Amino acid sequence: MTREEIVNKLRERFGADAFSTSEFRDNYRIILPVERVYSVLEYLKISCGFDLLAELGGADYLQYPNARDRYGVWYVLVNTTTGVRLIVKTFTNDPEPTVPSVYPLWKGADWMEREVYDMYGVVFDGHPDLRRILLPDEFTSFPMRKDYPMRGRGERHNFPIISRPES
Amino acid sequence: MAVEGLSESVMVTQLDKLANWVRKNSLWPMPFATACCGIELMATGASRHDIARFGAEAMRFTPRQCDLMIVAGRVAMKMLPVLQRIWLQMPEPKWCISMGACASSGGVFDTYAVVQGIDRFIPVDVYVPGCPPRPEQLLQSVIDLQDKIQRTGTIAGKEFQIPAQGHPPRSLAVDVPPTERMVAPGNYATATRLQSE
Amino acid sequence: MPLELADAIATPDGPEQEYLWTLNFGPQHPATHTTLRLILTLDGETIVKAVPDIGYLHSGFEKLGEHLDYNQYVTIVDRKNYISPVANEIAWFAAVEKLMDIQLTPRCQYIRVIFNELMRIHDHLLCCGAAALDLGGFTAFLYAFNQKEKIYDICERASGQRFHPSFLRVGGLLRDVDETWIDMVRAFVRDFPKAWNDIVRLLNRNRIFIERTKDIGVLSKEEATNLSCTGPIARASGVVRDLRKDEPYLAYKDFDFKVICAREGDCFARYLVRMDEMLESCKIIHQAIENLPSGPVNVDADSKVVMPNQLSVYRSIEGLIHHFELIMTNRQWHTPVDEVYAAIESPNGELGYYLIADGSGVAYRTRTRPPSFIHFATFPYMIVGHQVSDVVAVLGSLNIIAAELDR
Ligand code: SF4
């Protein structure tokens, strides 16, 4: 199945204006509203054979030129039999950025979703164990957001000091 | 230093000197290898460079058997309480080599998550520059440390009682305005983090 | 992270579960190589549940990528997977060059291929050597390090740094390689199969090694795909997928090589796949070094994406202007305002970059698809039901690089 056939199938199934598509170099993207993400991904996995979730990531579009939504989440899907790649993309917004979890479809999404949550605070609805993964549990901000300074807010200096005589 | 009446094979020395000589030639490193520098540390131990020539090949991974901590690689915020706890677990006398730019100063990682030099939080004896330092540099630092032990060591560990000369880097924790400050400190005694104040 | 382990694990209550106990493994443990931490729930010696706890080396790589320009970021990319630094650079520039639509010169492509394969050998050597070391085979580790040092020398000759070469640039390389480098690579290709043989003779029929790796940490084909595994780990489980063949990048179309696969999906299969891949890589290097095209390594300076050479900066006004335009922080590259995903087959699996560009010389967002991160997520599935001593074998076969894991 080529990309065009898949997109046509999706159009048939979900209606012509359910999503928009864009193409850049060899990347083919399907842009969806967040409500429809889960059903489309499920359809792609079950009926179109996209069995590998190659990558799941997020970004904060706060200062991006002409951006309308704040957080983007993308899924790079691969059909391991035919080798077709497809990128599904969705957007979500403050105050409670939420995206449905695809853990029930691909178990590999587990940690990747936790990472996006850790870095951006995007909540994945239905994830079985959504905790911080890379940063300490007590960390209160989401460091990859564009309004968080690169050098942090002083967390890295905030430890007791051990000197020679006392050790 | 032959004393009259003793045969040639007897040597008189100070007990401190003897202890130093013994200590410096059998350093047992505790490789605290976190990142890329750790691979160079492995290379130093492996075939071509062979740290055994300097009597420091007995790498022990339990801090209680070691007297030299080699911190190789950057130390992240989450790792620092672990580092401090390991340092406190090592018995006296103990020394610390900070290997690589990251451990010494944060290196290229001037970001929110990396401690900007372990010497802000634990004492360090020898710094090794480089990213990563070549194994030869690490060997040189071991030689330098041996030299330091020979010069300053005492059998009772008195040199550790006096605060080090020269100033350790200023604590930066105060630089942050209180409104900006976030509480993520580690308590090294219990290795748990403090709750917010 | 508090060390109160009990609440990190949701052990089911009830009297029949009370004999379970908890073991903390890491973050400073010799067998974890770097900074991994596992919280294991044990029934006697059998592992009932494993909860990895990562982030002990999180250093904000991706945040740094939003503050350094496309060329500067190469130094940071190097440090991501420090066992195969140049493979990371190749992946990063694959994304950047796809974004800017740059066609590399044939010579540059060949040199990149050679480096990619050298890195594959380097990575697999360390992985197999360290796995043997953890299981008690010290000699294999020393043999592996001997060869590793030769690859370091090759990197040092090309770029001046043995460990983090930072050798690639947008649209080309830092500089061209010289005859001595070519001879060094030739010598390496000539000598490597013999050294490889030594390691194989030590391990492949070694009773202890086999008993400790066979049928340990089995991953079935379906599981491997579902858990997003790629690279040697997926191939050891029978997934025939190699980006070098499936989506040929650089000059991989020109070379003749096999994709090594196995069916068993256990630690021994992963070890065998890695060992055989080394020989295939050696074959590719041999073909590439003998057919190395001549010509420039950088794309044409008129395209305004590569640094002009020093002579033209000093001698001509155009060169000076090019240089100025690329260095000044408010000029630099003019990229499309768009996003791109590019992936290569790194030694560890699919290594991809999702790059969002906002038209300036600095990326807006650089997201890595880190194979180590994804492979470590499979660990809890593999280890359940095995013994504590098997943790070491499985970790060794997964080849987790902490810097890539935590970024
Ligand atoms: S100093 Fe360089 S080589 Fe060492 S840990 Fe830091 S980045 Fe890695």
Q: What is the mean pLDDT of chain A?
A: 84
Closest listed residue to residue A42, CA positions, set A97, A88, A111, A110: A88
CB B173 within 8 A of CB B75: no
Mean per-residue pLDDT for B83-89? Answer: 86
- If you take atom 2 of ligand 1, which residue's CA is the nearest one? B131
Q: Letter for the amino acid at C263?
A: R
Give SS3 for C23.
Answer: strand
Q: d(Cα C96, Cα C77) in Å, to the nearest integer? A: 13
What per-residue confidence (pLDDT) applies to A97? 87
Domain containing B52 — which CATH number? 3.40.50.12280
Contact B183 A158 (CB under 8 A): yes
CB A153 within 8 A of CB A129: no
CB C72 within 8 A of CB C327: no
Q: How far apart are the first and last CA of chain B?
A: 62
What per-residue confidence (pLDDT) applies to B46? 76
> Residue A165 above 80 pLDDT?
no
Q: d(Cα C221, Cα C104) in Å, to the nearest integer? A: 36
Question: Cβ neighbours of residue B8 under 8 Å, at least 6 residues apart?
Answer: B2
Residue B167 pLDDT level (bands cut at 50, 70, 90) = low
> Residue A7 above 80 pLDDT?
yes
Residue B169 pLDDT level (bands cut at 50, 70, 90) = low
> Residue C7 above 60 pLDDT?
no
Q: CA-nearest residue of chain C to A144? A: C63
Flag the least confident range among B158-167, C39-48, C330-339.
Answer: B158-167
Q: d(Cα B173, Cα C329) in Å, to the nearest integer? A: 32
Phi/psi of residue A6, each to 5°? -65, -45
> Residue C1 above 70 pLDDT?
no
- Which of B110, B164, B188 lies nearest to residue A162, judging by beta carbons? B188
Which ligand 1 atom sits closest to the C-alpha of B132?
3
Tens digit of each residue's pLDDT (9 = 90 or more) over C111-149:
999 999 999 999 998 888 888 888 877 888 888 888 888
Q: Letter for the amino acid at B147?
A: D
User: Quick check: is A165 in a domain?
Assistant: no
CB C202 within 8 A of CB C134: no
> Residue C15 above 80 pLDDT?
no
Mean per-residue pLDDT for A66-83? Answer: 86
How many Å lie between the centroid of ligand 1 and the Cα of residue A167? 27
Beta strands in B10-91 (DSSP E): 29-33, 68-72
CB A38 within 8 A of CB A30: no
DSSP C306-336: SPPPHHHHHH-HHHHHHHHHHHSTTSS----
Residue B60 pLDDT level (bands cut at 50, 70, 90) = confident
Residue B82 CB–ligand 1 contact under 6 Å: no
A chain contacts of residue B88, beta-carbon cutoff 8 Å = 162, 167
Mean per-residue pLDDT for C363-391? Answer: 87
For residue A150, the tally of other CB atoms under 10 A from its CB is: 13
User: Quick check: is B21 in a domain?
Assistant: no
What per-residue confidence (pLDDT) applies to C13? 55
Q: What is the mean pLDDT of chain C?
A: 85
Query: Bridge-partner residues for A57, per DSSP?
Result: A74
Instruction: Give the Cα-Cα-Cα angle B12, B18, B22 (nearest 5 degrees).
Output: 145
A chain contacts of residue B192, beta-carbon cutoff 8 Å = none
> Residue B185 above 50 pLDDT?
no
CB C367 within 8 A of CB C334: no
B chain contacts of residue C29, beta-carbon cutoff 8 Å = 61
What per-residue confidence (pLDDT) applies to B181? 47
- Which stretch of DSSP H or E encloses residue A111? helix A109-120
Question: Cβ neighbours of residue A35 under 8 Å, at least 6 residues apart?
Answer: none
What per-residue confidence (pLDDT) applies to B177? 52
Domain that holds residue B59: 27-158
Tens digit of each residue's pLDDT (9 = 90 or more) over B95-136:
889 998 888 888 888 888 888 888 888 888 889 988 888 888
Mean per-residue pLDDT for C393-400? Answer: 85
Q: Which CATH number fits domain C61-299+338-406: 1.10.8.100, 1.20.810.10, 3.40.190.10, 1.10.645.10?
A: 1.10.645.10
B162 burial type by CB count under 10 A (0-12 exposed, 13-18 middle, 19+ buried): exposed
Structure-block tokens of residue A161: 């000091």
> Residue A18 above 80 pLDDT?
no
Distances, alpha carbon C289 to alpha carbons B42, C109, C266, C282, C285, in Å: 30, 12, 35, 10, 6
Mean per-residue pLDDT for C338-347? Answer: 89
Q: What is the CA radius of gyration of chain A?
A: 19
Residue A63 pLDDT level (bands cut at 50, 70, 90) = confident
Residue B39 CB–ligand 1 contact under 6 Å: no
The interface residues of chain A toward chain C in range 51-110, judged by CB-CB distance below 8 A, are 51-55, 57-60, 63-66, 74, 76, 80, 83, 85, 87, 106-110
Domain that holds residue A110: 3-158
Mean per-residue pLDDT for C334-357? Answer: 88
Report the complex ipTM. Answer: 0.89
CB B88 within 8 A of CB B64: no
Nearest Cα of chain C lies from the Cα of A165 at a distance, in angstroms, of 25
Tens digit of each residue's pLDDT (9 = 90 or more) over A89-124:
898 888 888 889 888 888 888 888 888 988 888 888
CB C299 within 8 A of CB C103: yes
For residue C210, the tally of other CB atoms under 10 A from its CB is: 13
B chain contacts of residue A135, beta-carbon cutoff 8 Å = 77-78, 113
Counted across chains A and B, CB pairs separated by less than 8 A come out at: 104
Q: State whether the Cα torsion C218-C222-C227-C228 is positive or negative.
A: positive
> Residue C75 above 70 pLDDT?
yes
Alpha helices in C160-266 (DSSP H): 179-203, 207-213, 221-226, 231-236, 243-246
User: Quick check: is A164 in a domain?
Assistant: no
For residue B157, the tally of other CB atoms under 10 A from its CB is: 12
As a whole-number percent, the residues of chain B with pLDDT over 90 amount to 0
Burial C9-31, CB ≥16 within 10 A → b, else e: eebeeeeeeeeeeeeebbbbbeb
Higher confidence at residue A151 or residue C200?
C200
Q: d(Cα C327, Cα C324) in Å, to the nearest integer? A: 5
Distances, alpha carbon C310 to alpha carbons B107, C174, C279, C297, C315, in Å: 29, 12, 39, 15, 9
What per-residue confidence (pLDDT) applies to C177? 87
> Residue A4 above 70 pLDDT?
yes
What per-residue confidence (pLDDT) applies to B194? 39
User: Quick check: is B170 in a domain?
Assistant: no
Total number of domains constituting chain A: 1
Residue B183 pLDDT level (bands cut at 50, 70, 90) = very low
Closest listed residue to residue A106, CA positions, set C237, C241, C368, C377: C377
Tens digit of each residue's pLDDT (9 = 90 or more) over C190-232:
998 998 998 888 888 888 888 888 888 888 888 888 888 888 8
Q: d(Cα C226, Cα C231) in Å, to the nearest integer? A: 14
User: Quick check: is A166 in a domain?
Assistant: no
Residue B74 CB–ligand 1 contact under 6 Å: yes
> Residue B27 above 60 pLDDT?
yes
Q: d(Cα C298, Cα C316) in Å, to the nearest integer? A: 19
For residue C206, the tally of other CB atoms under 10 A from its CB is: 17
What per-residue confidence (pLDDT) applies to B168? 56
- Which stretch of DSSP H or E encloses residue A23? strand A20-24
User: Quick check: is B114 in a domain?
Assistant: yes
Closest listed residue to residue C169, CA positions, set C219, C108, C120, C117: C108
Closest listed residue to residue C331, CA positions, set C357, C360, C353: C360
- Eight-class DSSP state of C362: B
Q: d(Cα C145, Cα C155) in Å, to the nearest integer? A: 15
> Residue B197 above 80 pLDDT?
no
User: Quick check: is A114 in a domain?
Assistant: yes
> Residue C303 above 80 pLDDT?
no
- Sorted by where each begins, the domain ranges of chain C are 6-53, 61-299+338-406
As a whole-number percent, the residues of chain B with pLDDT over 70 amount to 78
Structure-block tokens of residue B189: 């005694």
Domain containing A27 — which CATH number? 3.30.460.80
